[in-house]
Amino acid sequence: MSWLACYLFCSGLLLLHKDVACEEYQNVDSTMKRQDVVVLKCAYPQMSKMIQLSWVKNIEGVKHKIAVYNPSRGEHIFPLYNQSVTFLSTSISGDIQLRATAAEEGSYQCSINTFLEGVLLKQFAVINPDTFKAKFAKGQAADTQVLLVPDNSMTLSCGYLDGDKVVQLTWQRVTEEEISMIANFTQSQSFIGYDYRRRIQTDYMPHQNISLTIQNVTTNDVGMYSCHVVTSNGKWTKLFDVSVEGVTDITMFLIIGAVAFGSLVLVISVVIVICVKRRKKRKRNKKQFKKGIAERNYQRRANPNSYAAPDIYDRANSRAAGYQEESIYANL
C-alpha cells in the first residue's frame, strides 16, 4: 500500500482531535534557539485530570530527571538543576524556565500522566543559535500575506499536486526563537505537533490544492508559516506571513503614538493641576497672613498702651475705674 493510500486510510483526509500515524514515529515538536533564558512550554491541555507532570533531558539515550509537578504535592526540582531550572508562576501549566548555557543544548521532554487520555509527550530541542539560523533564513520574504480573525479558523493554501506522488509534506511555524512543527508526513511516517493535534485539519488529493486549516486561532498564532512539499517530480517551499486582521504596522504605530501622546497629556495635566493648587494655597496663606497683621495693627492703634494683650489691658482699666468710684471713710 502506498504512503498516500495509507495516509488516506488512517485519516480519511481529516486529521482532527487525534494524533494520526500509520506507524510509530518520534519527532521534535519544538526547536528552540539557545539563549540566556529559554522557556519550554509543556502546555497542559486541561481537558483531562492531571496525575503528574515531569521533565527529563535526553543525554546520549539516557533520560536525566529535571523536575516533577504533582497537583497535590506541588513541584520538585532535582539537585542537578536547582540553579538553572524554575517553574513559571503557574506550575499547573507545566512550563519551565531554563537558564541556558552551551552545556544545556540538547533534547528535552515533557511528560504528562493524565486520567482518560493517558500519557501526553512533548519533545523539545535546544540548539546552537548558528544552527538555528541555518535552519531558517531570517528576513526571508513571504509569498503570501494572511490575516487571521481571533476565534475563527485560518486556512493556508500551499499549492497544487498536479498528479505528482508526494514524498514529504511539512508544515511549520517559525519565530525568531522557535520553530514549531505543525505536521510532517512522509511515505512511511505521520506526525502532528503536540500544540496542534486538536486544532488542525489537512487534506489533499491528486490534482487538488494542498491546504492546512487551523481552528480557533488567537493572536498567539501570528508569525511566519512554512509549507515544504517534496514530490516525485520536484519540490517547493511556500512562506505565509500571518498577522491579525485590522492591525498593520501603520495602525500599530498610530496606536502606540496615540497611547504615548495620551500619557504625555495626562502627565502634563496632573502637573498643571498640582501647580495651580499649590499657587492658590500660597495666595490663600499670604492673604490670611496679611489679614492677621492688619488686625493686630488695628488693635494696637485702638489700645496704644497695650501691645501684647490689648484685651487684658481693657480689663485692667475697667477694674481701676471701679476702684475710683468707691468712697473711703475714716474715724478720727
Domain match, 55 and 107 both: yes
* Residue-by-residue DSSP string for 61-75: TEEEEEEEEETTTEE
Final residue before a domain boundary, out of 97, 127, 157 = 127
CB atoms < 10 A from the CB of 82, how many? Answer: 10
CA dihedral 21, 61, 31, 167 (to 10 degrees): -40
Nearest CA-CA partner of 86 in 25, 126, 123, 40: 40
Domain match, 7 and 93 both: no
Q: How far is CA 202 from the centre of its chain?
A: 29
Q: Give the integer Cα–Cα distance in Å for 262 and 254.
A: 12
330: in domain = no
Domain match, 196 and 296 both: no
53: in domain = yes
Cβ 179 vs Cβ 173: under 8 Å: yes
The three-class DSSP label of residue 128 is coil
Final residue before a domain boundary, out of 214, 247, 280 = 247
The residues, any chain, with a CB within 8 Å of residue 133's CB and separated by 6 or more, are none
282: in domain = yes
253: in domain = no
Domain match, 183 and 222 both: yes
Torsion-angle region of 43 (φ positive above 0: left; ψ -120 to 50: alpha; else: beta): left
Query: Any idea what DSSP says for residue 308?
Result: S
Domain match, 94 and 67 both: yes
Cβ 222 vs Cβ 244: under 8 Å: yes
Q: Which residues of the chain have pLDDT under 50?
A: 1-26, 248-249, 307-310, 312-313, 318, 321-323
The three-class DSSP label of residue 215 is coil
Domain match, 199 and 222 both: yes
Q: Give the integer Cα–Cα distance in Å for 306 and 297.
A: 11
Q: Give the integer Cα–Cα distance in Å for 43 and 274.
A: 49
Domain match, 240 and 263 both: no
Nearest CA-CA partner of 64 in 84, 36, 45, 49: 84
40: in domain = yes
What confidence tens digit (pLDDT) does each residue in 207-230 have?
Answer: 577 899 999 999 989 999 999 999
Domain match, 43 and 111 both: yes
Cell of 233: 517530480
CATH number at residue 167: 2.60.40.10
- Burial category of 126 from C-beta neighbours within 10 Å (exposed 0-12, middle 13-18, buried 19 and up): buried
pLDDT of residue 184: 93
Q: Give the integer Cα–Cα distance in Å for 137 and 204.
A: 28
pLDDT of residue 255: 63
Residue 65 sits in which domain range?
A: 35-127
| Angle of helix 310-325 versus helix 249-302 axis, rounded to 10 | 20
How many domains are there within the chain? 3
The three-class DSSP label of residue 205 is coil
Cell 481552528 belongs to 215
pLDDT of residue 123: 94
Cell of 26: 518520534
28: in domain = no
pLDDT of residue 20: 34
Domain match, 15 and 145 both: yes
Domain match, 243 and 148 both: yes
Nearest CA-CA partner of 145 in 8, 59, 244, 221: 244
The residues, any chain, with a CB within 8 Å of residue 205's CB and separated by 6 or more, are 13, 161
Domain match, 4 and 152 both: yes
27: in domain = no
Final residue before a domain boundary, out of 65, 96, 127 = 127
Phi/psi at 256 (nearest 5 deg)?
A: -65, -40
- Burial category of 182 from C-beta neighbours within 10 Å (exposed 0-12, middle 13-18, buried 19 and up): buried
Domain match, 148 and 3 both: yes
